Structure 1
Amino acid sequence: MYSVPEPEVVDRMRQAHAEVTVQLQAQAVGGAESWGWRGRTLSRLVAAPTGDGWLRLVSVPADKADGKLWEGPMAAELSMPSDVPRPRLRRRLTWADGEHGYLAELYDPVPNRTVTVDGPVLRDKPALDAAWWAGLAGALDLVAGVWTSRVAVRQEYLDRAMPQFLGVPVDTTVPAWSTAHGDLHWANLTAPSLSVLDWEGWGVAPVGFDAAMLHTYSLLVPETAAQLRRHLGHVLTTPAGRFSELVVITMLLQTVQRGDNLDLEAPLRERASVLLGTTI
């Protein structure tokens, strides 16, 4: 969960969430609000005719209320194997109100909290057992085998961004492609029982992209990063996996330039230097 956004966003999102709760013949129950990045999403537990559920509201500018991110969760519901641990999507509503477009999704409730509750970066070592790690590895392997025409990472972006943000000449050709969740960070994973949340951006990406993203978001906790390399080493230690690490480092260095993830900059550059064999 991210911090509560500015008051005008809070008021608008709370009103829209309350209205769609009534439309679904539901009512809010105990539990805190869960805010997404800059107030883009607002979620909370509700009691619905089909039982308790997690009602997630997404808001974007009205002219952006379609396309890959808008359709991702429903596409995942239709395409992902049932063995991939994730909350099932029950209902979906979309509408526009002035300059804002909205998507409301009612999911089965998730019994466990996300590993991090204040954003994607891991800052403390989580207590994750061998079964959790095995479940994650198996889930990523299943996702990688799903065929899709959806695209999570584009070669054109890598050709432009990798030299710019890594600051050194680098071969930007993706060695191999597979399907990925596309946003696999610690605020999208639950524990002690594993569930993978937020399927907006899934699609084809460089092989190992999900493992690389989770590893990169773990760099502030070296012990967990080492655990991750052990449990997902069958992907991360390959040439494709190392390339995917550079892809994710590129993306996060771009966010640093925008003023986000500032405490990750030094670890990102250190890890890139190890992978490239030169200081960046």
Structure 2
Amino acid sequence: MEGDDGRPGHHAEVPPPADREAVREEYLRRVIPEFTGHQVDAVTWTTAHGDLHWANITRDLHILDWEGWGRAPYGYDAATLYVYALLTPEAAARIRTELAPVLDRPEARTGLLTVCTQVLQAQDHVDFYAELAGPIREQLAHL
């Protein structure tokens, strides 16, 4: 598929829906400072899958499980893939490189902080999140 810029695989961004939220603004403004110590400045909203982790991507790169899609901070889906890979440093480095065009943009900071916060908030209830807590804290030190 050719996108608006003429390059294969690039397409116009779908505007964030007004009636669907994958992440609520009130939530991120409250919990990001509480769990990360970082403040939320301006938020750039975009359309997101909302639950884009490795169990929702098939081998042929089909994306499954769309019931949670909606408005989320820019970079939220890319940040989810990256953060969930932190326990495998080689995979995380590759994902970070491949998704750099998204994750390196200043507006992606809130998306990354949101994913880190969600994991830290649930670490006492989900073993995988508890394992991710250390690597996430290392990431937060560099934001």
What TM-score comes out, normalization by structure 1 length?
Answer: 0.45
**AA matched with 2:35:** F
Q: Which has more radius of gyration?
A: 1
Is 1:240 matched with 2:110? Answer: no
**For residue 189 of structure 1, what is the aligned residue in structure 2?**
57
Out of 69, 75, 81, the position equivalent to 1:208 is 75
Note the 1:1-280 alignment, pairs <5 A.
138=10, 144-149=13-18, 150-166=20-36, 168=37, 170-191=38-59, 193-260=60-127, 261-275=129-143
How far 1:173 moved relative to its partner?
Answer: 3.2
1:149-204: per-residue Cα shift (whole Å, max 9, x none)?
A: 211111100121111111x2x2223431110000000000011x110000010001
How far 1:259 moved relative to its partner?
Answer: 4.3
**AA matched with 2:17:** T
SS in 2 for 1:239: coil
Structure 2 residues not aligned, in runs of 5+: 2-7
Q: Which fold has the larger relative contact order, with Cα–Cα distance below 8 Å and residues 6 or more apart in sequence?
A: 2
**AA matched with 2:47:** T
CA distance in 2: counterparts of 1:255 and 1:174, whole angstroms:
25
Question: How big is the alpha-carbon RMSD for the aligned residues of Structure 1 and Structure 2?
Answer: 1.9
How far 1:269 moved relative to its partner?
Answer: 0.8
How far 1:148 moved relative to its partner?
Answer: 2.0
Percent identical among aligned pairs is 46
CA distance in 2: counterparts of 1:183 and 1:256, whole angstroms:
17
1:11-57: per-residue Cα shift (whole Å, max 9, x none)?
A: xxxxxxxxxxxxxxxxxxxxxxxxxxxxxxxxxxxxxxxxxxxxxxx
CA distance in 2: counterparts of 1:153 and 1:182, whole angstroms:
8
Does the 8 Å CA contact 2:16/2:45 hold for their aligned counterparts? no
1:199-248: per-residue Cα shift (whole Å, max 9, x none)?
A: 01000100111000110001011111111122111110011122211110
What TM-score comes out, normalization by structure 2 length?
Answer: 0.85
SS in 1 for 2:39: coil
**AA matched with 1:241:** A
Does the 8 Å CA contact 1:174/1:206 hold for their aligned counterparts? no
CA distance in 2: counterparts of 1:156 and 1:173, whole angstroms:
13
Task: Looking at secondary structure, tell me which structure has more strand per residue.
Answer: 1
Task: Looking at secondary structure, tell me which structure has more helix per residue.
Answer: 2
Does the 8 Å CA contact 1:155/1:174 hold for their aligned counterparts? no
